[in-house]
Structure 1
Amino acid sequence: MNIGFDNEKYLNMQSAHIRERINQFDNKLYLEFGGKLFDDYHASRVLPGFCPDSKLRLLKELSDQAEIVIVISAGDIEKNKIRGDLGITYDSDVLRLMEAYTNNGLYVSSVVITQYTGQSSADLFKSRLERLGIRVYIHYMIPGYPSNVPLIVSDDGYGKNDYIETTRPLVVITAPGPGSGKMATCLSQLYHEHKRGIRAGYAKFETFPIWNIPLKHPVNLAYEAATADLNDVNMIDPFHLEAYGKTTVNYNRDVEIFPVLRATFERIYGKSPYNSPTDMGVNMAGNCICNDEICQKASCQEIIRRYYDALRRLLIGSCSEEEVYKIEMLMNQAGITVHDRPVVDAALACAERTGGPAAALELPDGRIITGKTSKLLGASAALLLNALKELAGIDHEKHVISPDAIEPIQKLKVNYLGSKNPRLHTDEVLIALSVSAAMDKYAQLALEQLPKLKGCQAHTSVMVSSVDMKQFKKLSIQATFEAKYEKKAVFFRKKVV
């Protein structure tokens, strides 16, 4: 992988900067952790070299001073919102995160359900957590939020929320995904701490948008594409420009909420320690980009992947047309089209040439490998085998899996498991390959190439099965799919506009 981001420099700079911010306040700092704390795969894709667990490593250095509070929106529980990268619901991810943090020596003290308006699913989740011995707090929707500052910063606003009991000087507020109410949770705690005579502080650790690179830099545009469903918009921080005469980048929700934060500090201390949303942040990522061209190219690919994913979700009814249009606009701003993704044209050309579904994959050295549909294999499975052969230097005419080994699997699928599709999926091909590897040196050599597929780009000419999608993710292949079905079933005959 070409490296565009210096991760070690980032860890050192970020750790030092967070410690400096802790020292600005006495006894208690609420640190809002935006993005993914444990597995920030978006950052690792747009900043090649960024390790997905970088934030976790930072926290482990502060584990003796820190505790974690996980926030989840009652609305996200009600909607069964899914983490796109993992394919699990936000409420399930809360439990996954708690286990992951605990296993890494971090203390998770409680869970907060925010934006609560009586959702029954939130009540059930609260009961489930409490049966597991987990402390749960409720924060409510506040009328007029975030503009009605006098009401928000009062006993009828933040004052109605449960006070979160904490014991350590650094309280990290994190969540399964964006829009969960992390900042509001922090501000609510500042209000409650003041009523208890505690001088607490607030800071924000958000990787994106990166404040000290251009507004329309592809890294920042990729963040907008990632949050298109939230209608987040990157913008120049007007407060920072007015206070210091310097142009910095922030996003609309932070700019909108800043008057609330400033009013909160003014009511508590008489004066706000921050003049702008940018002042609130502690992010050092922009200082650690070591090859801007590599990061720009990676970010453009991420925007295109987000576009294809939005088209796929539009087809299955889990995305709005507005979300698709927004990402199209971001592609225009970045000056890119789907044809800037080499595997797209390669997959479509193969499909046109063969008259059936096809797939393409770009190897680390830029070579494009294709796979077509056959009687034995689906396009994705064929692609996987062809890529492994190419990496191993095995002639493509040589069978690394005997057809005799494939036939029993097909018989099992059709005759005993009721499948109408006899062709092997990617997971079944890998099982067959691993069985063959016990007796065939070429199969073993092909199997050993699997780690080299990590980070490779792929595209298919049609929608693939959920099995193949999951297998691409497990192999860390960054795949996109045309938003069209291989066959028109009766349930999918209505045209999607």
Structure 2
Amino acid sequence: MKKLGFDPQKYIEEQSKYILERVDHYDKLYLEFGGKLIGDMHAKRVLPGFDADAKIKLLQKLKDQAEILICVYAGDIERNKIRGDYGITYDMDILRQIDELREYGLAVNSVVITRYSGQPSTKMFINKLERRDIKVYKHAAIEDYPSNLEKIVSEEGFGKNEYIPTTKPIVVVTAPGPGSGKLATCLNQLYHESRNGKTAGYSKFETFPVWNVPLKHPLNIAYEAATVDLKDVNMIDSFHFDKYQKVAVNYNRDVETFPVIKRIIEKITGEESVYQSPTDMGVNRVGFGIVDDDVVKEASKQEIIRRCFATECDFKKGLIDEETVNRIKLIMEEVELKKEDRKAVLPAREYSERLREQTQSNDTPAVIAFELQDGRIVTGRTSSLMDSCSSAILNSIKTLANISDEILLLSPVILETIQTMKQKDLHSKITALKANEILIALAISAVTNPTAQLAYDKLSELNGVQAHSTVMLSKNDEQTLRELGLDITSDAVYPSENLYYI
């Protein structure tokens, strides 16, 4: 049984109470949401017990008082930026978010395109949204933002961007990723609300870093690892300490921009800001939900290792620079971690090395090791029939169901028929069956085969399993494992010399 280190119910109660206290001071509160609104898997991994959908469930409790603005930077649409955990582009993620928000009964006011200057792909995305009756607002970049205070807070700055009419006291401003323009959108709204004679406030719904956990706690260092490409660095909030003589942890961007943001808010409202530090601006009660610090520390260390593998793979794919890789290595050294501290790594590599010696191949044999919830290690390798993901999944559910290794869950005739269809009818150059194809075959076999049904029923027990691959996986296999709830890492090795067919 996985140990829990976090109480999600206590967190939701604390956070919702704190938000409502903020709302009481204003006609309207613009609440910038840091991190992911739905499916916050980072928080779930580092805080065992955390509900990945805690934020959206909290908002559901406040749905009569809240509506949502979704921001996206036009440049991210233009370059087809990918959201790593889902493997989809930011524009597609916005469509996904809108669907899920509606399922929770939450009102989506509109989509805000930030730093828009007529980019072609963004125009097409705007057309797609508007033809589905979704309101879209376009905000241009403001020259010298955020340093030129006089220009920003004027008709030539925020005044040139559209005002977004809202009707509820809490306006949640979210985005598919960092750098999407959430803060600028909040400040733009504050400017127009002030001009309309309304009292509006700004707060930031934070999760990480955790302000009341030590600076060098693995939980906060895991946040640095997660944002290594953004070069975020945790630091003591000097403003908070100077004002209250209390140590609080924040990160460099918030600390550096705080004086400017404070002055912008004061110029908009004509009053002294109620916030004396960037920590004051945040609504962050995560630290109060921790119930077992040792469990959280260990989970955070494992997340740092996971991020190290992911960063090295991104470098291999050409997505990030070498400086980012060096940064994650320094973080690993700081916490005295090595990649082999992830339990599934060595079994996968050792099996792969044995296969290499047997076949004398130049390519690294593709092997995946699953660390089951009870600590047992199960491996799978790529063969001419199926890939390593498929093999590991079948071997694992057979192990969980106590089915002998000699018993076949799937008829070879069925598998060969699927292979033939892929090759001859679909003209696929990849004939080894992928994980999603094997799962469909298993589901069909379970209808008539009691043994297959027994194994099929164990699929849910793969949720939370830790896995490691000796080669980088295809997007389809990676996504299938994520959907099953596995946390997968990979060595930064391509499975073959092929550039396209992997």
Distance 1:308 1:398, change over 3 A: same
What is the aligned-residue identity percentage?
Answer: 51
Return the offset for 1:396: 1.6
Where does residue 380 of structure 1 map in the other structure?
389
Pick closer, same or farther for the CA change 1:131–1:372 going to 2, 3 Å.
closer
After the TM superposition, list the runs of 4 or more consecutive aligned residues in structure 1 that deviate by more than 4 angstroms.
none
Distance in 2, Cα, partners of 1:372 & 1:469: 15
Give the corresponding residue for 1:62: 62
Q: How does 1:265-344 map to 2 (within 5 A)?
A: 265-267=265-267, 268-344=269-345
Give the Å deviation of 1:403: 2.5
The residue that corresponds to 1:157 in the other structure is 157
Contact 1:179/1:230 (CA < 8 Å) preserved in 2? no
- 1:328 maps to a residue whose letter is K
User: Which deviates more from structure 2 when the two are superposed, residues 213-222 or residues 345-354?
Assistant: 213-222
Q: 1:103 to 1:430 in 2, by over 3 A?
A: closer
For the residues of structure 2 that align with 1:127 and 1:443, how far apart are their CA atoms? 47
Q: What are structure 1's unaligned runs of at least 5 residues?
A: 493-497
Q: CA deviation at 1:269?
A: 3.5
- Deviations 1:377-406, CA, capped at 9 Å, x for gaps: 322221111111111111222222233332
TM-score when normalising by structure 1: 0.94
Task: For 2:196, give the aligned amino acid.
Answer: R
Counterpart CA distance in 1 for 2:499 and 2:377 is 35
State the SS of the aligned residue for 2:283: coil
Q: Write the distance in 2 (CA, Å) between the matches of 1:90 and 1:423.
A: 31
The alpha-carbon distance between structure 1 residues 104 and 185, as it changes in their structure 2 partners (threshold 3 A), is same
Instruction: Determine whether 1:23 maps to 2:32.
Output: no
Q: Please give the residue correspondences for 1:168-183 in structure 2 after superposition, counting only pairs within 5 Å.
A: 168-183=168-183
Q: 14-23 vs 109-118, which deviates more?
A: 109-118
Distance 2:421 2:315 in 1: 34
Query: Per the alignment, do residues 394 and 161 of structure 1 end up closer, same or farther by CA in structure 2, a change over 3 Å counting?
Result: same
Residue of structure 2 in register with 1:120 after alignment: 120
Cα offset, 1:491, TM superposition: 7.3
- CA shift, 1:490, in A, is 6.4
Amino acid at match of 1:110: S
When residues 65 and 373 of structure 1 are mapped into structure 2, their CA distance, relative to the original with a 3 A threshold, is closer
Does residue 8 (structure 1) correspond to residue 9 (structure 2)? The answer is yes
2:418 aligned with 1:409, yes or no? Answer: yes
Relative to structure 1, the CA distance from residue 445 to residue 230 in structure 2 (aligned partners, 3 Å threshold; closer, same or farther) is: same
Q: Could you say which residue in structure 1 is the equivalent of 2:138?
A: 138
CA-atom RMSD in angstroms: 1.8
Do 2:211 and 2:249's aligned partners in 1 also have CA atoms closer than 8 Å?
yes
CA distance in 1, matches of 2:194, 2:88: 38
Compute the displacement of 1:264 (Å).
2.5
Alignment of 1:442-461 (within 5 A): 442-461=451-470
Q: CA deviation at 1:456?
A: 0.5
Structure 1 residues 128-178: Cα deviation after superposition (integer angstroms, max 9, x where no partner): 322322222222222222233333223322222211111221111111111
Deviation of residue 120 (structure 1)? 2.9
Give the TM-score taking structure 2 as reference length. 0.93
With over 3 angstroms needed to count, the CA separation of the structure-2 counterparts of 1:92 and 1:434, relative to structure 1, is closer
Code of the aligned partner of 2:410: I
Question: Within 5 Å, which residues of 2 pair with 1:200-239?
Answer: 200-239=200-239
| Residues 191, 264 of structure 1: 8 Å contact kept | no
CA distance 1:251–1:392, change in 2 (3 Å): same
Give SS of 2:428's match: coil
Structure 2 distance, partners of 1:479, 1:348, is 14
Measured at CA, do residues 466 and 95 of structure 1 come closer, stay the same or move farther in structure 2, by a change above 3 Å?
Answer: closer
Equivalent position amino acid for 2:38 in 1:
F
Instruction: Sort the Cα spacing of 1:154 and 1:127 in 2 relative to 1 into closer, same or farther, 3 A.
Output: same
